[in-house]
Each structure stands twice: as C-alpha cells, then as structure tokens.
Amino acid sequence: MKSKRQRIVAGNWKMNKDYEQGRELALQVVDKLQPSEVKVVLCTPYVHIKSIGVMTKDIHNLSVGAQNCHQEDGGAYTGEISASMLKSLGTEYVILGHSERREYFGETDALIAVKLGKVLEHGMLPIYCCGEKLEIREAGTHLDLVSQQMAESIFTLSEEDFKKVVIAYEPVWAIGTGKTASPEQAQEMHGAIRGLIAKQYNEEVAEATTILYGGSVKPGNAKELFAQPDVDGGLIGGASLKPDDFISIINSY
C-alpha cells in the first residue's frame, strides 16, 4: 500500500538565508539531487520563491513552497502575504499550522481551517502540521489532541479538497530540540491519523494520503523513520539548511 502514496521530503528553511545564501543553498541541493520518485519541496522564506522556482523549473521532482499565508484575499494587513500573491510567484505548496505559527502567532485550528480553504482555492497544496507538546505526550493524551486538531481544521474540508492535503505530524517536543520521536512513536501516531481519515472520509482516501513526520530528522535516523509503514516522508527543519544532510535524508528511501 505504502508504495502507491506520494513520498515527500520537504525542507522548512524557517527564517533563514538571505537572498544570495538562499540561491546558493538551492543550487547545492539541485547539484546533488539524484533522480528519484521522492518529491522534494523547498519551503523557503517568501523572498526566495520566485528565483528558486525559476532556477529549478526543469527538475520535475522538485517544487517550491511557502511557510504560511494570510487568510484574506488582500487589503489592510500590513506585512502579510496572500494566497494569490504566493500563487503568482509559482508557489506549489504552503505549510500551514506549523507549531511555531501556533505558538508565536497565536494561530488556532479554526484560523488554519480558513487558510486551508484559501490555499486550495488558489490551486496550491497545503502541508498541514499537527502535533502535541511535551506535557500532552507525558499525560498520554497525544492521540486525542491530534484528533481534535484535525477535527477543527482539515476535517472541515470536503473529500475532494482533503485529497490534495499533505499532513505533517510534528511532535512539538521534537522540533529543533534534537529529540526525535522513536520510529514506534511515529508509526503509532501516523497509523492513528490514517485511521481518523478513514473514519472521516473512507479507506481509499486514507490509504492515498501522504503523512510526513517532522521533528529533528537527520541522516542518522531518517532511514528507520521512513521504513515505518505509515510514514511517507519528512518535514525537515534544521537539516534542510545543510545540503549534504538534506540530500542524505532524501536518499534514505
């Protein structure tokens, strides 16, 4: 079953790399990238999207993504960017609901649901992030929390729209901390998420949904994580800024 799903390794550059540094990083990734069935997505700061999109336009398994977008079409929202603006730059994927957006910008699942609709309306593909904080994991209620996050956001989508979404399970305690979920912990959650999708929509939709793991993925742990039956790739933060590490993670399939 797993082999039928689109495998994705997406890099989340976060707020790193100025214009020239970003071009250099993308050039190094392109230079080392080997032909493969894994889709690689570079989720860069907005400033890079156009130039890296042009640079990589002939590489069929590489796409450029954004890390957020505003929920309104336009207007007096100083400093924000709309889905149509992102689309006009050639953006294909948009990360939504990253835990840093939830934590530092107060994003709720209700807001993320509106953003999901906007990104889809403009023909881009959301990478929807969910995941629990450490205290929830320690209390043993992580499955309930993720189920609630999904109920309030992606499960508000129609089946047709849901089919376009990529999910990234990112335990907050593993993001940027060097602590990775064990392959068993990742599989438990990914299996549960697939079960929730089957219940909400149907088995066929659940089997076709790409579910990424994110949280301190590195060359040394990617192979074991990606070997889990319900792990279809990764959302990579820190290691996506190091071309050799990022390529090694992509090649872990």
**Interface with ligand PEP (CB under 6 A):** 12, 170, 175-176, 214-217, 235-239
Between 83 and 217, name the residue whose CB sits nearer to ligand PEP: 217
Whole-number Å distance between alpha carbons of 184 and 62: 29
Residue nearest to ligand PEP (CB): 237
Please, what is the minimum distance in Å from the beta carbon of residue 102 to ligand PEP? 12
Between 167 and 206, name the residue whose CB sits nearer to ligand PEP: 167
Cβ-Cβ contacts under 8 Å for 30 (sequence gap 6 or more): 55, 56, 59, 62
Please, what is the minimum distance in Å from the beta carbon of residue 194 to ligand PEP? 20
Note whether 230 and 190 are within 8 A (CB): yes
H/E element, 243? helix 243-250
Whole-number Å distance between alpha carbons of 30 and 49: 15
Query: Is 190 assigned a catalytic role?
Result: no
Between 181 and 206, name the residue whose CB sits nearer to ligand PEP: 181
Please, what is the minimum distance in Å from the beta carbon of residue 152 to ligand PEP? 20
Between 201 and 246, name the residue whose CB sits nearer to ligand PEP: 246
Instruction: From the candidates 98, 122, 142, 190, give the one annotated as an active-site residue.
Output: 98
Please, what is the minimum distance in Å from the beta carbon of residue 78 to ligand PEP? 26
Between 201 and 243, name the residue whose CB sits nearer to ligand PEP: 243
Query: Is 98 assigned a catalytic role?
Result: yes
In 90-240, which ranges are continuous DSSP H helix?
Answer: 99-105, 109-121, 134-139, 142-152, 159-162, 183-200, 203-208, 219-226
Whole-number Å distance between alpha carbons of 45 and 43: 7
Instruction: From the candidates 92, 107, 132, 170, give the one annotated as an active-site residue.
Output: 170
Choose among 191, 202, 196: nearest CA to 229: 191
Backbone dihedral angles phi then psi of residue 114, each to the nearest 5 degrees: -65, -40
Backbone dihedral angles phi then psi of residue 57, each to the nearest 5 degrees: -60, -25
Please, what is the minimum distance in Å from the beta carbon of residue 18 to ligand PEP? 19
Catalytic residues: 98, 170
